[in-house]
Structure 1
Amino acid sequence: MRIGELSRKTGVPVPTIKYYVREGLLPAGELTSRNQASYDEAHERRLRLIRALLDVGGMKVAEIADVLAAVDDPERPLHKVLGAAADRVGGTAADHDDESTAARAAVADLVARRGWRTHESNPAATDLSRALAALTRLGHGTFAELLDTYAEAAEQVAQADLAYVDRRVAVEDMVEGVVIGTVLGEAVFSALRRLAHAEASARLYGTKGAPEGGKS
């Protein structure tokens, strides 16, 4: 297909497609003449993945480039591809006040207690520490008592993610499945958690009038 048809199929403007090609996110099309190139279903699929990581995953172009480089590396083990994707979700710098120090210790204890094979430098551990420290500053330090309950739920979700990946046959499907399960799965789990909160709140506190948003 020509680039115009690729644009129509994906809803991505032609100049944006050309930008992705220049940035190395999307492979160049096969030249059919001096000024024309042909694109196929692989380009369409990769383009949809890029847009999903941008629009749903909230990733930046440079972060997507790093993840796709891991996906396209045939020597990169799936575990490393997963790490490349996970490292792009969150991962802000750690603070160094008393609350943050205590939070990091709590996270390290959780990781050790559950036997998780991960390093303390994992960006997700930093994000969890920052969240716990913020809760402590707000007077909700006892929230840490729920960590194991949350961890059990997270383990079930992670196992489901990777079970989905194992269902993919082709290697390129598997590595793409790892990225989707990590980045877009984060958005899915967050949305489901908010829906579950609304239901749990309704059951616990009751409802007055129409549900939020006016819909059941």
Structure 2
Amino acid sequence: MRLAELSERSGVSTATIKYYLREGLLPPGRQVNRTTAEYDEEHLRRLRLVRAMIQVGRLPVATVREVLGHVDDDSLGRTMRLGAALWALPQAPEPDTDDDHVRAARQETDELLAGLGWENARLLTSLSPAYRSLVVSVAALRRLGYEWDAELLASYARLMHRAASLDLDFVETQESEAERVETAVLGAILVEPMLQALHRLAQEEESARRYGFE
């Protein structure tokens, strides 16, 4: 397809597509002559991913470029390729290692992972922003006096493991490795807010069942 058709099918202006091409967010099309290039379904799929990251995820172009670099890095195995792409997304701040609450939260988080038998997650704790984010959250709860029971936290973790299994079941329906990683990135941007919304709706439903509308 030519640039005009790519624009029409994607709903993205030709000027914006040309900007994405200049910034390296889209691979160049197949050059037909000096002034004309052709694009295919992969360009359309990538363009939709870029638009979701920028418009919905509100990511800066530099971050999008970094994420896509990991998506396209076929020198990495699937786990590290997926992890690198997701880790490039905006993350929680680094925990303060001198904070007593952070040290206690880190120990609690390590004990949680060990109790769950999440050995692979434990191997990635030095790299994983998700691990650091969990430590920061647990530390914040401790600092405010909300010390959640360890078994309650483990129950939530088991629910999330089921959600992760569903995520990857869907990712594996994609044909190419790049499409699988792209789908996982889209999941982080689009599905996580959806899950948060479902969680809050479930809270509203359960609250109404328990306490009514009085």
**TM range, smaller chain:** 0.7 to 0.9
In the alignment, structure 1 residue 92 sits paired with structure 2 residue 93: yes
Shift of 1:92: 2.1
Query: What is the match of residue 117 of structure 2?
Result: 115
In the alignment, structure 1 residue 205 sits paired with structure 2 residue 211: yes
Structure 2: state its 5+ residue gaps.
none
Query: What is the match of residue 74 of structure 2?
Result: 74
Superposition pairs for residues 118-197 of structure 1, below 5 Å? 118=121, 119-121=124-126, 122-142=128-148, 145-197=151-203
CA distance in 1, matches of 2:85, 2:191: 11
CA contact (8 A) 2:71 2:182 kept: yes
Shift of 1:144: 5.2
CA distance in 2, matches of 1:38, 1:69: 22
Please say which of residues 130-139 and 4-13 is displaced more in the overlay.
4-13
> Residue 193 of structure 1 aligns to a residue in which SS?
helix
Shift of 1:182: 4.0
Structure 1: state its 5+ residue gaps.
209-216
Percent identity between the two aligned chains: 44
CA distance in 2, matches of 1:89, 1:200: 32
Please say which of residues 199-208 and 138-147 is displaced more in the overlay.
138-147
Shift of 1:76: 2.1
Q: Structure 1 length as normaliser, TM-score?
A: 0.84
CA contact (8 A) 2:112 2:150 kept: no
Q: Structure 2 length as normaliser, TM-score?
A: 0.85
> Residue 142 of structure 1 aligns to a residue in which SS?
coil
Query: What is the match of residue 48 of structure 1?
Result: 48
Q: How many residues align?
A: 208
Shift of 1:89: 4.9
